[in-house]
């Protein structure tokens, strides 16, 4: 069965080659990003606000509590929120395409 699935995947990849989710250039596997688009994503790393996930420029700016000014002034209704990367030209397209796929799958029975 695994052999048949691999054969079918190879045939499908030949007819409809996998493409980058963002720029549609050819990639090795379906669902992947090309190296250029991957490098264009701004991944969020520490230090960041423990409530909303907004990154700080330095640990000194994060302070001892690691809560940003926005969350201190108007605490959000949620306890914690995180994003993988900052919103920019590449990530906006990626978020839109992934969201569209999720909605399509949700309505597929
Ligand atoms: Zn790309
Ligand atoms: Zn915050």
pLDDT at 109: 55
CA dihedral 22, 25, 31, 35 (to 10 degrees): -80
Tell me which ligand sits closest to the C-alpha of residue 71.
Answer: 2
Residue 25 CA to ligand 1 centre (angstroms): 6
Residue 41 CA to ligand 1 centre (angstroms): 11
Tell me which ligand sits closest to the C-alpha of residue 41.
Answer: 1
Residue 38 CA to ligand 1 centre (angstroms): 7
Alpha-carbon distance 82 to 92, whole Å? 16
pLDDT tens-digit series, residues 59-108: 888 777 899 999 999 999 999 999 999 999 999 999 898 888 888 888 87
pLDDT tens-digit series, residues 3-27: 888 777 778 777 888 999 999 999 9
- Indicate the pTM of the whole model: 0.70
Residue 37 CA to ligand 2 centre (angstroms): 27
Alpha-carbon distance 89 to 70, whole Å? 24
List CB contacts of 62: < 8 A, sequence separation 6 or more: 47, 48, 49, 56
């Amino acid at each position: 069965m695994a052999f048949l699935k691999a054969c079918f995947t190879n045939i499908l990849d030949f007819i409809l080659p996998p493409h980058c989710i963002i720029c549609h250039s050819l990639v090795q596997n379906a669902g992947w990003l090309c190296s250029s688009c991957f490098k264009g994503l701004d991944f969020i790393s520490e230090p960041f606000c423990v409530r909303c996930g907004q990154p700080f420029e330095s640990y000194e700016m994060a302070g001892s509590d690691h809560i940003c000014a926005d969350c201190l002034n108007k605490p959000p209704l949620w306890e914690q929120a995180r994003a993988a990367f900052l919103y920019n030209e590449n990530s906006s397209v990626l978020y839109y395409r992934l969201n569209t796929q999720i909605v399509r799958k949700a309505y597929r029975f």
